[in-house]
Structure 1
């Protein structure tokens, strides 16, 4: 099996605030569980939860709670958006997600 074939099913969650990537999280069965909080602006917060191959905005203090109600996302192409906080979580293929410097693009490996 070639490396390209092995990587074809790997996914990464890219979390952006106001168009700027803040974090990349590898999503796979070996990733385990993690939770972290992002602060998009003064007085705003989003609690992000990762559980293996899926991710969600578990809690935030936005007025509409759309990202929270979106729940878990796990498939390439899915997105969760918190518009008041300008926060976007999107799932993309891990292959080709390297940064321009040739590093792993800031992937978080639990």
Structure 2
């Protein structure tokens, strides 16, 4: 019965490194801007930028720069992948994420 009231527009960015979820960030057009750096391994970095309802790998030191060139992602199902750093950013529906036992699943609210 609760599902009838679920807003399907709510989405979350799930950031994983080597298959391990590091952050879940609620994407919302009314949310502010944030930027943070992840360090997948020694000598590696990825600067992640969140701007309301979109997210991107703004800068990293991978040789191919694929994730950087992917740019902003904001739609459910979109992904940005930095293979050399084993970093994955994927957009998922906020409801129904695996591992969310009735709470917000460890969301980081901007």
**TM-score, normalising length: structure 1:** 0.92
CA distance in 1, matches of 2:21, 2:4: 25
Matches within 5 A, 1:1-110: 4-97=4-97, 99-110=99-110
Q: Please, what is the CA RMSD of the aligned residues?
A: 1.9
Aligned length: 110
Offset of residue 99 of structure 1: 2.7
Offset of residue 84 of structure 1: 0.1
Q: Say if 1:12 and 1:70 are closer, same or farther in 2 by CA, change over 3 A.
A: same
Q: Say if 1:30 and 1:100 are closer, same or farther in 2 by CA, change over 3 A.
A: closer
CA distance in 1, matches of 2:91, 2:4: 19
Return 5+ residue gaps in structure 2 as ranges: none
Offset of residue 94 of structure 1: 0.3
CA distance in 1, matches of 2:26, 2:3: 17
In the TM superposition, structure 1's runs of 4+ consecutive aligned residues that sit over 6 Å from their partners are none
Return 5+ residue gaps in structure 1 as ranges: none
**TM-score, normalising length: structure 2:** 0.92
